[in-house]
Chains A and B, each alone.
Chain A
Amino acid sequence: MKELVVVSGKGGTGKTTIAAALAALVSEPVVADCDVDAPNLHLLLDPKVQDTEEFIAANVAVIDPTLCRACGACELNCRFGAIGSDFVVDPIMCEGCGVCEVSCPYNAVQMRERLSGYIYTSKTRFGPMAHALLLAGESNSGKMVARVRELARTLTETTEKELIIVDGPPGIACATIAAITGSSAGLVVTEPTVPAIHDLKRVLSLFQHFTIPVMVVINKADLNLRKSKEIESFCKEKDIPVVGQLPYDPIMYKAVVAGQTIIEYAPNHQLSTNLQNLWEKVEQQLDSISRST
């Protein structure tokens, strides 16, 4: 089983568009949307949900006003600023640690399970899909990402498939770490802009930190050819393969509006040819990685 995780560091570089195109090009993939904060892959893959599970990974404190004597012990010990001045817990700030519960001399605090979101098992026109939705303002996106990947692996085994394509989150913190650790390789989508290059370097050091193989695709490459060259030289220096360069073309947005992958929306467009070439290079990399491990 191979697992390719599409990430970017900077948001909005084209992760979902590219992950969806790969899903359309690969024969029989399993897909997983691990951008649980702001998932978008379902808008292109139109999953039919087969199963929904509630995701409960934390607790939230609740103070019983009839028992509370307003002594302030909970507020003093809470390090997350979750106890309001009127001794009502702000669930958004509450980490569910339970320090308030053990601090309360009147047993007025109760820890309750909190629903962080939902995990879905679905079918798409390309194959099975694992995805999720984190409820507004909830934490624990790292744990949720781990659960989505676990589900995708189970789906891969039960349906005897061989490749998981993961649409990952932006950033480099808990959700991204949960999305890449233990995967076969990462595909970082970048663009030739000063901010994106800054973010690319940080996300590439994250892969280096966890010693996970990684490759780079430059989206909107012709927006700034000089900056694209700069990315190429940087990657060459670090011995990281650049597996493709895609043109800057508003047809990407049109395909999104149509709810289709580029491959379906414009099969004869240059971009589709570029994506086909991209997949061939990614596949070669995945093969050489699996031979070397």
Chain B
Amino acid sequence: MKIAIASGKGGTGKTSVAVNLALSLRDSVQILDCDADEPNVHTLLPLTQDQIQPVFTMVPEFDETKCTRSKNCSAFCPTHAIFVSDQGITFFPEICIGCGGCILSCPSQAIQEGQRQLGVLHQGMTAPGIEVVYGELDVGEPFVVPVIKAVKDQAKNSEGTVVLVDCPPGVSCPMVESVHGVDYCLLVTEPTPFGLHDLRLAVDTVRQLNIPIGVIVNRAGIGDQQVFTYCASEDIPILLEIPHSREIAELFSEGIPFTQRMPDWQSKFRELFQVIQEGIRK
């Protein structure tokens, strides 16, 4: 079973929910941290052993001796990453999206499939026995989606495993890639006009993917009632409210998941999980 934890707005508490839910379930849980721009799960749940492997994207490799200067590759390239002149081929790898169209369009087999590193994949166990996988985009690289795909490829598909996917903020391609293919999506929001605005965007996006949605209201008590009114009118269940609390914020600041110090919350997260399971069966 795969559950995504997403939000639209950043900093609403996605990672905190993912980690605390995992700690409350404990057995057979795997967390995939798909926020490869700024992965944070491992800052709350440090890996006790860390296997690191590079993540590559496909880039063309040119054999100038075979090139007949047809310029078909540069004519095809959707991002204008290839420039062919009589002097030779100039290639800009950082804007190549790795579609492989240049290889297909070359009449003289002068282009081979090569690879370029975009980031790394970390994988390992944590002290509570939860497996964590996270991607880390190399600084300066613009394309994060291939790193997210590499993280998602590590998802355990066995029957009894609960896979929690911690998503990047926003509603564009990295978030969609992270949410794609999950059984359920938890949207974490805060009860403010910012939280509501971005929750709406996230709901619109996740609905396009036909994934059932439940909402968690974090920092309940600040702000106003509009998030509640919106969820009621859209028939979206609010599964959990986490109160605005300086104590929880202070624990977070130290990198401590709050259920470790406030164990009563573990039963609330387990109840949340029961409701999600029922939501998936519907």
B205 within 8 A of A: yes
Question: Which residues of chain B come closer than 8 Å to A191, judged between CB atoms?
Answer: 253
- Whether the Cβ atoms of A256 and B194 lie closer than 8 Å is yes
A70 within 8 A of B: no
Interface positions, chain B 38-91, Cβ under 8 Å from A, are: 38, 40, 43-44, 58, 76, 78
Bitwise, A219-245 to B at CB < 8 A (1) or not (0) is: 010011001000000000000000000
* With contact pairs A173-B142, A224-B253 given, residues A199 and B97 touching in the complex (Cβ less than 8 Å): no
- Whether the Cβ atoms of A38 and B140 lie closer than 8 Å is no
Interface size class of B (residues with CB under 8 A): 35 or more
A253 to B219, CA, bound (A): 10
Which stretch from A95-103, A123-131, A153-161, A276-284 is at the chain B interface? A95-103
Bitwise, A137-153 to B at CB < 8 A (1) or not (0) is: 11111100000000000
A177 to B174, CA, bound (A): 15
- Whether the Cβ atoms of B101 and A97 lie closer than 8 Å is yes
Bitwise, B124-157 to A at CB < 8 A (1) or not (0) is: 0000000000000101111110000000000000
A38 to B205, CA, bound (A): 12
Interface size on A, residues (CB 8 A): 65
Nearest residue (CB) in A for B168 is A171
- Whether the Cβ atoms of B44 and A174 lie closer than 8 Å is no
* With contact pairs A10-B38, A40-B194, A98-B78 given, residues A170 and B100 touching in the complex (Cβ less than 8 Å): no
A169 to B246, CA, bound (A): 26
A63 within 8 A of B: no
A256 to B195, CA, bound (A): 10
- Whether the Cβ atoms of B11 and A43 lie closer than 8 Å is no
- Whether the Cβ atoms of B142 and A253 lie closer than 8 Å is no
A192 to B255, CA, bound (A): 10
Bitwise, A186-197 to B at CB < 8 A (1) or not (0) is: 000001111100
Nearest residue (CB) in B for A195 is B40
Number of A-B contacts (CB under 8 A): 192
- Chain B min CB distance to A78 (Å): 8
- Whether the Cβ atoms of B171 and A137 lie closer than 8 Å is yes
Question: Which residues of chain A come closer than 8 Å to B8, judged between CB atoms?
Answer: 37-38
A8 to B15, CA, bound (A): 17
Question: Which residues of chain B come closer than 8 Å to A12, judged between CB atoms?
Answer: 9-12, 169
* With contact pairs A9-B38, A171-B169, A173-B142 given, residues A136 and B201 touching in the complex (Cβ less than 8 Å): yes
Nearest residue (CB) in A for B10 is A11
- Chain B min CB distance to A39 (Å): 8
B116 within 8 A of A: no
Question: Which residues of chain B come closer than 8 Å to A22, judged between CB atoms?
Answer: none
- Whether the Cβ atoms of B224 and A257 lie closer than 8 Å is yes
A246 within 8 A of B: no
Q: A10-B40, A171-B38 given; name 9 further pairs at CB < 8 Å.
A: A10-B11, A38-B197, A40-B194, A79-B98, A136-B204, A172-B37, A172-B137, A195-B43, A257-B192
**What residues of chain A have their CB less than 8 Å away from a CB belonging to chain B?**
8-13, 16, 36-38, 40, 43, 59, 77, 79-80, 92-93, 95-99, 102-103, 134, 136-142, 169-177, 191-195, 198-199, 202-203, 205-206, 209-210, 220, 223-224, 227, 248, 250, 253, 256-257, 259
Q: Sample 23 A-B pairs with CB under 8 A, ordered by A number.
A: A9-B37, A10-B40, A11-B11, A37-B171, A40-B193, A40-B194, A40-B198, A77-B100, A95-B99, A97-B99, A98-B76, A102-B104, A102-B105, A137-B173, A138-B172, A171-B168, A171-B170, A177-B140, A194-B44, A194-B252, A199-B40, A224-B254, A257-B224
